Structures are given as structure tokens and as C-alpha cells.
Amino acid sequence: MTGDAIRYATAGTAIGDVLLAGRTGATGLRICYASLAGTAGLARLQDFAERAFGGAEVVADEPALECAVRELVEYGAGRRREFDLDLELVGSDFELCVWAELQRIPYGETRTYGQVAEGLGDSGASRAVGRANGRNPVPVVVPCHRVVARNGIGGFTGGLEHKHRLLELERVHARRGQRLLLG
């Protein structure tokens, strides 16, 4: 195994079966891929490894990803609203800007594709935002599910059922957190 290998783990969570992958480097583990398809996402991870990292070896390594998987389990249980994971995102400059903007959307809230485009300073880029959203390699961690169409739910690479489930989970737990604060 080389240091450039992509290590992955799978786990059952309240948000579904997840596959989480990362690369280990000088600064530790950096998450580069997530899927809500569990082990079925392994073929897509291998395709991603080929495109993004020139065919880096893909190896199962549950211990290396234990802390990262725990964060997803906590998120699914409503005990975590933000992730403390180092990320290694691979995309175009525009995609990286979109993904950074997505990380500013608060837990339990949504934005339209147009609002995300406006946040980037280009109100006419809503379709490009949608494409970048669809290419997000780490859904949930980079919360692309929080972006909706102006007149509906929009799409989600993990499937609309997962998008509905994630938005409902956040809505319920955000409301519960507000009640605790208001006492």
C-alpha cells in the first residue's frame, strides 16, 4: 500500500449506508469521496480514483476512517451539525468555489441554486451551480442537499429519497435545537 492509496470504509447510519474515502498524506487523512450507496458505491469510488488521482489504489481500511465515519453516524443521529474533517476536494476552480459556498449554508436551512450563484457574485450562474452541485464528491459533508430549485426540491446525486431524508433530519433537529435554546 502506498501513501497515495485511497482508503475507504462503509457503515450503516440513520441516513443510510455510507461509503467514505480519504487519502493519507503528511497532514493526515483527508476525505475525498463519500457515497450514500454503501458498498454499491465502490465501483463509483474506483472510477473517481481513476479520474481524480490517476488510478490510485483503493483499499478497505476501517481503522483509518473510524473518526470520520463516527462524525457521519453522529450527524445522522442529530448530534452533529458541522463536520471537523479535512477535505481533499478535486474539481475545477468554479466547482471548488461552489463547494466552499455550500459549506456556508447553515444546518437546517436551504438555498436555491440562484441564491448560491448570487453568493458567488454571478446571479446568472444557477445552472452552472447545479452542475457543480452534481459533481460534489463528498455529499452530506459538503451539504449539496441544502440546495433546492426555486420551484421545487431539485436533484441530488444520492437520489431524491436521500435528499428528502437529509432535509427532514436537519429540519427536525434544527427545530429541536431552537427549542432547547429558547427554553
Catalytic residue among 32, 67, 97, 144: 144
Element (H, E) at 148: strand 147-148
97 counts as catalytic: no
Start-to-end Cα distance in the chain: 52
Judge contact between 11 and 73, C-beta under 8 A: yes
Residues 51 and 54: their CA atoms lie apart, in Å, by 6
SS3 readout for 110-135: CEEHHHHHHHCCCCCCHHHHHHHHHC
For 54, 59, 116, 149, 160, the CA distances from 49, given in Å and listed in that order, are 7, 11, 28, 30, 25
Q: Which residues carry out catalysis?
A: 144
